[in-house]
A and B are shown apart, each in its own frame.
Chain A
């Protein structure tokens, strides 16, 4: 086939030459049953020549070296899912899905590599646990209690609370520490309310028996106030919360023996009592030794507003 000669307007009476036929008239789109039929018929295609094959309804052009499928049939012939992707297809609307995203089932989930081009879900660990490398694990990682550092005090949790009948601090104690430091701040909706303390176990079950302890406050008028409790349902940290929102009472607690050994859990602490600016001290034990996982603050009447911070002290 001769190369295309472009476009020419023929006039009445013109005589068509072989060159005219090959160069002009034969330069349309030639239709064949298949690419095999096309190649058999056109053994020497010219650059720029078009051919249509009916078996696949495809349009081709010759680029001077080979037949090339024209863009009219679509450049993308298929979508194949690669690593970390699922779905794909060769026709119609194609959906591809991020397999890593669908592996996530819950808050805190991590997607972790398990080998070349493979991954797995690692669920969130226990509160306060940290992510640790461990080659024995399939993922090479695990959640573990933080190792106690030399002399370190590690913040475990903190929160504020507003007009609550009780405030539970769950899962703040673990085997990582033997001693804890708690800072509290509170005022009450009832003037003179007690701030009470209970241990919690099995996540959020309050220990409601066998509290023994005492406290005292020494105020600006040099008056001493004392309080004691003997086999009660809760310990009393302070016996005179005020309603002053701008001047809350606050204090600290040192806690130990919450790990279920033979010793019973105890706290000791001191603080500031807003009522008459008291210097307060308090201590208590509970007579039931078990693994305690947290604690609960509550007023003996009304609601409390304030905050708490919990720290673990290195063993």
Chain B
């Protein structure tokens, strides 16, 4: 989704927004509302970009391991198994 599509979807899902200040509930002003929705859209896009970058890095690693002649099982083990698990297996 584009940022504009995200904004439109958020506005549909949240036609009004409130904030809490101690025990008081306050409806956001129009400027606050627009700024909040905009920041939400930016946050979603930032996370999607980060996920894409992580997946690309993963694919790069897989390609490199494949060039080294490792099997798919070996590659998967190298990529997904945390170090902590390896240590606990030794214990």
Contact = CB atoms under 8 A, between A and B. Distances in A.
A167 B23 contact: no
A155 to B, nearest CB: 15
A222 interface: yes
B28 interface: yes
B19 A167 contact: yes
Interface stretch (A114-122, A129-137, A158-166, A282-290): A158-166
Given A301-B40, A302-B40, A167 B84 contact: no
Contacts of A224: 82, 84
Interface of B: 10, 13-14, 17-23, 25, 28, 36, 39-41, 43-44, 47, 80, 82, 84-85
A168 B19 contact: yes
A193 B44 CA distance: 9
Interface residues of A, number: 26
B20 A164 contact: yes
A62 B20 CA distance: 76
A300 interface: yes
A259 interface: no
B17 A194 contact: no
Contacts of A193: 43
Contacts of A88: none
A170 interface: yes
B85 A222 contact: yes
B18 A165 contact: yes
Contacts of A165: 17-19, 28, 36
A175 to B, nearest CB: 20
Nearest to A171: B22
B21 A204 contact: yes
Interface in A189-217: 189-190, 192-194, 204
A218 interface: yes
Interface of A: 157, 159, 161, 163-171, 189-190, 192-194, 204, 218, 222-224, 300-303
A112 B22 CA distance: 29
B82 A300 contact: no
B22 A159 contact: yes
Nearest to A157: B22
A238 to B, nearest CB: 14
A170 B20 contact: no
19 contacts: A163-B18, A165-B28, A165-B36, A166-B19, A167-B19, A168-B19, A168-B20, A170-B21, A189-B13, A192-B47, A204-B21, A222-B82, A223-B80, A224-B84, A300-B40, A300-B43, A301-B41, A303-B14, A303-B17
B22 to A, nearest CB: 5
Contacts of A169: 22
A307 to B, nearest CB: 11
B43 A301 contact: yes
Contacts of A167: 19-20
Nearest to A167: B20
Contacts of A163: 18
**B10, B14, B21, most chain A CB atoms within 10 A:** B21
Given A170-B22, A218-B84, A300-B43, 14 more contacts: A157-B22, A159-B22, A164-B25, A165-B28, A167-B20, A168-B22, A171-B22, A189-B13, A194-B43, A222-B82, A222-B85, A301-B39, A302-B40, A303-B14
Q: Which 5 A-B pairs have the closest CB atoms?
A: A301-B40, A300-B43, A168-B21, A166-B19, A165-B17
Contacts of B23: 159
Nearest to B40: A301
A166 B13 CA distance: 17
A218 B18 CA distance: 33
Contacts of A171: 22
